[in-house]
Chain A
């Protein structure tokens, strides 16, 4: 049985990738760690994976996407890093991985994900909803429940798929949609890879919804899952042991949202502080600040949103440009 975990990121999130894989290795040393690196190396820098908790690095060109550069050009960094998740999932299944677990780079494990492995023995895939329990206050309903109506019921910071026909069918469907429609365009019903999965349990009824409160804990469900640390040393979310936390926006703004739902408890801020310190210790040296290979033309000038939209229109009209980055 080959189980592999993957994440997708550009170099600017490499500190997060390192923290994630460090925690995955600690709790699941038996898993393979795969990175979909949505970036290319800056001059005078080469990634040395022998010194990383990473077993395989897959780049854009390895994913079997037709005209991958022209396709990539349509997307900003968030869109592209999420759009590759479908192709990467199919790529790993095609490589013979039996169970594939995707985790966002800004997550970290706090325990073994046994519940997921068990569910995958009986289901084709597993998803985690943003919320499991209804909120009670108007402010929380606005922030959380209505937030999920806008951005998607499931949080695609996590998805797990088994290598069997129904799992493959889901992966293939998601891949196809992401290749065409992975944009941050909430007014038109799209939110990158995430909102698509509102359809998933309907189209693929054998997909399991994981209702364990220790999975994918974040500001959007903290109101219903207070973090506690017992005198036995166990960290819990709601009544369940914490399995992984989603450290979305480790910034002043992100902390304001956590403050709102911390319920007067300090523990969630302890997790945040721990995470910030891990990130600082895992910073990637040798890559310029704000580096993203696909964010600029080859001559170094930045690609604007207008440029991407214009390119997309040409792409949809059937015009084919070999490498739009070279223009």
Chain B
């Protein structure tokens, strides 16, 4: 028995990915046992997978002879299945899993009013408490920002923008009140009876507590009555009831109202416009064939109607991070008559000096950021897998490893936080990354990782149909980037070695990523410019 298990372990060893196994199965890692021994002893019987490609359950379900023999499926694959050309996973297994999950999630959407509050400080605020927090002496106005989660706790591009604009507004003597749903849900919250919607409040970066919409409304009405100028900047309405937010905006008598389009949530609950979470849909008409077969299709018409009513009620200025996003937002939502501004969340300032030194013999190729499908992780995995034994290339991934990085990709942990915003740019430069693959499957409105890659001086290989990324590449790195149409073209680019030649010729420069001031750029700068002009005019007159 012992000899058999040793033989089994020896045979599967070349196919077993210990680091993948430990990163995906936290219980195995926590128990401190040998991952390979665990897979042999019980892992395969529990349906666990030994690497990112081999689907244990699929193999047993498809090959009845293996299941009937009660055999470790990876052992069978190693000694027989591989030579026989047996498949190790369903065709497009990751995409199909996502597809099933999209329908599952839609079928199991909870009744959001029944969920326990999860975000915000555990303290129920009174009208007076809110009023007191917002009307401290010397303040010249309140900016109310709305988004889907707590920007001070979650990490991401949108959260960074909120953090940045909070600082800018405070520096100008304004109070920055942030509202997110205390019960975060995917999609819009159900339309709430007044008094039922619970917000989590954060004021000038400090968690205040939770308040229902009527309490908040009373506080805002009082402040407006005292003549306090109130402006709104709505970054995201996920998890909100737009009717409730719309009512608060109106009741607060706000003069300035911004609606950000960080993604396409106004057009569909699938805010990346990925049909069934797997394929870019283009935001077609809600009665189209595409919406009919999409997990989000049945809600989309009502979702669009609620969002459209919000836009018509609030009449905001639309803020998009890029021109490409503005065009698509208007097409997909059908809201054409709206004032729109484009504001890039960050810009790159490059050094004048080109990056020195001959390129490496082995190109260092990287994927930047989280291992998520819509960011193109699966495409990158297929590339790295296809060329894993190719002496010309080395493959890296920088960011979080949650989800499991296989052994043929070297993982470099990097965390971009509000206090280390340039961590990724530095890590890319420090690891001497030559090439970054940017392959989002949705039309990015603004892609921070592509900007980080360019700022680090890496050569950017980007999918052409990717929203604003090709535009940004043309703007910042016209001689250090390459747009490609398809995954086949990407593989050819590596196979022929054309990439080595292009990287060798490229003019690569280091730079720094400068964040914008967010909504402050639109709400404050015009006012300040006007004030300056007045001062100058007075000076001239004097």
Contact = CB atoms under 8 A, between A and B. Distances in A.
A231 B92 contact: no
Contacts of B289: 110-111, 229, 233-235, 242
Contacts of A242: 289
A266 B278 contact: yes
Interface in B277-301: 278-282, 284-285, 288-295
Nearest to A110: B289
Interface string A214-245: 00000000000000011111110000001000
Interface stretch (A12-20, A90-98, A270-278): A270-278
28 contacts: A110-B289, A111-B289, A229-B279, A229-B281, A231-B284, A232-B282, A232-B288, A233-B281, A233-B282, A233-B289, A234-B284, A234-B290, A242-B289, A252-B61, A259-B90, A259-B91, A262-B92, A264-B92, A266-B92, A267-B279, A269-B95, A269-B99, A270-B99, A270-B276, A270-B278, A270-B279, A271-B293, A277-B295
A273 B278 CA distance: 12
B62 interface: yes
Nearest to A265: B92
Interface in B38-92: 61-62, 90-92
Interface in A116-150: none
Given A252-B61, A273-B276, A233 B91 contact: no
A interface: dominant SS: mixed
Interface of B: 61-62, 90-92, 95-96, 99-100, 103, 107, 275-276, 278-282, 284-285, 288-295
Nearest to B284: A233
A256 interface: yes
Given A271-B293, A277-B107, A256 B62 contact: yes
A110 B291 CA distance: 12
Nearest to B487: A264
Contacts of A255: 90
B186 to A, nearest CB: 17
Contacts of B61: 252
Given A259-B91, A266-B92, A273 B282 contact: no
Contacts of A269: 92, 95-96, 99
B159 to A, nearest CB: 30
Given A235-B293, A264-B92, A273 B279 contact: no
B292 A274 contact: yes
Given A256-B62, A266-B96, A270-B275, A229 B290 contact: yes
Interface in A100-114: 110-111
Which 8 pairs across A and B sit closest by C-beta, in order of nearness? A233-B288, A233-B284, A231-B282, A235-B289, A233-B290, A259-B91, A274-B293, A229-B290
A169 B68 CA distance: 53
Contacts of B290: 229-230, 233-235
Nearest to A262: B91
Contacts of B281: 229, 231, 233
B109 to A, nearest CB: 14
B282 A266 contact: no
A173 B189 CA distance: 60
Contacts of A267: 279
Nearest to B280: A231
A89 B345 CA distance: 66
B107 A264 contact: no
Nearest to A277: B103
Given A256-B62, A264-B91, 13 more contacts: A111-B289, A229-B275, A231-B284, A232-B284, A232-B288, A233-B290, A234-B284, A259-B90, A267-B279, A270-B275, A270-B294, A274-B294, A277-B103
Contacts of B95: 266, 269
A234 B281 CA distance: 10
Contacts of B278: 266, 270
A265 to B, nearest CB: 8
Interface in A267-324: 267, 269-271, 273-274, 277
Contacts of B292: 110, 274
Nearest to B288: A233
B61 to A, nearest CB: 6
Contacts of A229: 275, 279, 281, 289-290, 293
